[in-house]
Copies of this chain bind each other. A is one copy, B any other.
Amino acid sequence: MARTFVCTYDNPVVETKQGKIRGYIIDGTYTFHGIKYADAKRFQQPTEPASWEGVKDAHSYGYVSPMLNRETAQGEILAPHRYWPKDENCQYLNIWTQSIERDAKKPVMVWFHGGGYSDGSSIEQAAYDGENLSKFGDVVVVTVNHRLNILGYLDLSPYSEKYKNSGNAGNADLVASLKWIRDNIAGFGGDPDNVTIFGQSGGGGKVYTLMQTPEADGLFHKGIIMSGVGDGFPEQGTDSRPLVDAMLLELGLAPEEIENLETVSYEQMAAAYKKVVPAIRAAGGYTGCSPIPNDWYKGDPRKVGFTEHAKTIPVIIGTVISEFGAHSIPNKHGLTEEEQMKLLKEEFGEDAGTLAALFKAAHPTKCVTDVMMLDSFSRVGSKDFACKKAAVSKVPTYNYLFTLEFPLDDGTPAWHCSDIPFFFHNTDKVALTGIPGVADELERKMSGAFVNFARTGDPDVEGLPHWPAVTADVVSTMIFDRECVVRANFDDALYKAFAPHAQNPFQPKKKTFVPH
């Protein structure tokens, strides 16, 4: 079915601080793609974009940040991608809204994409499209591009005062996007005083790092961290000089010529980085490509404590059951108990029986062999984050776990990114989510919980049991699945027994996540 399209010379046109912007209306949703929210010189903090006369069209997504490695299209069945032209000049955002009335004051949900701090974009996954969520929740959805990897996170502060926050330039772009939203979102029907930032994987990291960034205080009011906290990320040093000196040497530059880094091509700079970084990494040195604690960014709250501002932010934090370890097993649901235990013994040795029992207790409806794919990295870290926040914060923190089994192979437990189409109300856009009689209802509950949280701070939604907040000692977890239930401290014993077998996706011991 074709849809209903409107785009005349003067509709929809919104006045922003810098000038007028025209989008289009599709089936009633006002749509604006590729709005420039900031400009920035390489390694510098972002500034407000220049103003213009007349009307600019916002009909095409903006450039995405250059990336270190050539993209390869694999595993599209697991997470359909959208690739896009790249340029350093990448401070663009996109808006979907149901109203452009200035006093509509609808909740604003701002999506920070994943891909660590090195990859991805606001439109990288088909599931990031904001139209459905805006329409379903009557919210203003904003998605944001920003500088990544060595453009966004390379600390040059030891070389010159002018680079004092280059190590967090990518996060500074995010703050600039939130300032643009503060200044302009009312014209798009949004409430600048009710902004929720949410993101998955690296995007979840962006949420908690902005909670710890004083310049962002007051620019957002709630946060959702999806699979964005990990236990056992590779530690890196804080002195960037060994890395940057090696890059400069590789480029034939002396440390005094640091400013030449502003003008060498990205490709050259990336090649130099990629050549020198393995040795730096092996030595535990600073490797860039993620925010560095300094005056501007206060550091991981689990290590340094939550800032006073972070304590005022209600948070939803959660993960999916298998994250990076998901795969299937032939005839998985047809195996006898004996065959299952044979597999578990191969994997876990003498702990197999204990783990099987604990997994069954935690996940009674699941196939016991799924314990072989259990994520520990994200789940343990997220529970820890939730408890630490609950211990110091008067506003609620909620925890979830997404455990749906997907109809791929002989049944594949939820993997990293597989929850996004549900929370974004986009199961129509991701083939693999197509489970008749399940997907539509589950996405209504999952995206409904996020929308209600964004609107009021309370994620309760019709059809879900009441979702209690986490306390310092009790993690009440909303388990999203065919049947949604809340359980408290239900998998602590499992993870305690599982710890010796837990895999770090960044330092794989046995299996790695190979997309089908």
Q: Which residues of A contact B (CB under 8 A)?
A: 1-9, 24, 26-27, 31, 33-34, 57, 59-63, 70-77, 82-85, 328, 330, 407-410, 427-428, 431-436, 439-440, 443, 516
Determine if B7 and A432 form an interchain contact, defined as CB atoms under 8 angstroms apart: yes
| Beyond A7-B432, A26-B431, A61-B76, 14 extra complex contacts between A and B, CB < 8 Å | A3-B427, A4-B434, A5-B432, A5-B435, A8-B407, A8-B410, A9-B328, A31-B431, A59-B77, A60-B75, A63-B73, A71-B85, A73-B85, A83-B83
State which of B4, B59, B434 has its C-beta within 8 Å of the C-beta of A516. B59
Determine if B59 and A3 form an interchain contact, defined as CB atoms under 8 angstroms apart: no
Residue of B nearest to A57 (CB): B516
Interface CB pairs A-B, < 8 A, 26: A1-B427, A1-B428, A2-B436, A2-B440, A3-B428, A3-B434, A4-B434, A4-B435, A5-B433, A6-B407, A7-B407, A7-B432, A8-B407, A9-B410, A24-B77, A24-B431, A24-B432, A26-B434, A59-B75, A59-B76, A60-B76, A61-B73, A70-B85, A72-B85, A73-B85, A83-B85
| Separation of A2 and B57 alpha carbons in the complex (Å) | 32
State which of B24, B27, B73, B407 has its C-beta within 8 Å of the C-beta of A5. B407
Residues of B within 8 A of A84 (CB): 73, 83
Known: A59-B77, A73-B60, A76-B59. A435 touches B7 (CB 8 A): no
Determine if B76 and A33 form an interchain contact, defined as CB atoms under 8 angstroms apart: yes
Residues of B within 8 A of A443 (CB): 2
Q: Which of A62, A72, A85, A410 has the most CB of B within 10 A?
A: A85
| Separation of A408 and B328 alpha carbons in the complex (Å) | 48
Residues of B within 8 A of A427 (CB): 1-3
Residue of B nearest to A131 (CB): B431
Residue of B nearest to A409 (CB): B9
Q: Which of A5, A74, A432, A434 has the most CB of B within 10 A?
A: A5
Copies of this chain: 2
Determine if A5 and B76 form an interchain contact, defined as CB atoms under 8 angstroms apart: no
Determine if B409 and A8 form an interchain contact, defined as CB atoms under 8 angstroms apart: yes
Residue of B nearest to A328 (CB): B9
Determine if A73 and B34 form an interchain contact, defined as CB atoms under 8 angstroms apart: yes
| Separation of A59 and B79 alpha carbons in the complex (Å) | 11
State which of B4, B57, B428, B516 has its C-beta within 8 Å of the C-beta of A77. B57
Known: A60-B77, A83-B84, A516-B57. A5 touches B72 (CB 8 A): no
Residues of B within 8 A of A77 (CB): 7, 24, 57, 59-60
Q: Shortest distance in angstroms between A432's beta carbon and chain B's nearest beta carbon?
A: 5
Determine if B70 and A409 form an interchain contact, defined as CB atoms under 8 angstroms apart: no
| Separation of A50 and B84 alpha carbons in the complex (Å) | 31
| Separation of A31 and B76 alpha carbons in the complex (Å) | 13
Q: Which of A75, A83, A409 has the most CB of B within 10 A?
A: A83
Known: A7-B408, A85-B72, A432-B7. A439 touches B2 (CB 8 A): yes
Q: Shortest distance in angstroms between A120's beta carbon and chain B's nearest beta carbon?
A: 14
Q: Shortest distance in angstroms between A243's beta carbon and chain B's nearest beta carbon?
A: 27
Residues of B within 8 A of A70 (CB): 85
Residue of B nearest to A7 (CB): B408
Q: Shortest distance in angstroms between A131's beta carbon and chain B's nearest beta carbon?
A: 10
Residues of B within 8 A of A409 (CB): 7-9
In order of increasing CB-CB distance, the 3 nearest A-B pairs are: A2-B439, A5-B434, A2-B427
Residue of B nearest to A72 (CB): B85
Determine if B85 and A9 form an interchain contact, defined as CB atoms under 8 angstroms apart: no
| Separation of A433 and B435 alpha carbons in the complex (Å) | 30
Q: Shortest distance in angstroms between A376's beta carbon and chain B's nearest beta carbon?
A: 27
Q: Shortest distance in angstroms between A339's beta carbon and chain B's nearest beta carbon?
A: 16
Residues of B within 8 A of A433 (CB): 2, 5
Residue of B nearest to A408 (CB): B7
| Separation of A409 and B10 alpha carbons in the complex (Å) | 8
Residues of B within 8 A of A57 (CB): 77, 516
Residue of B nearest to A27 (CB): B434
Q: Shortest distance in angstroms between A130's beta carbon and chain B's nearest beta carbon?
A: 14
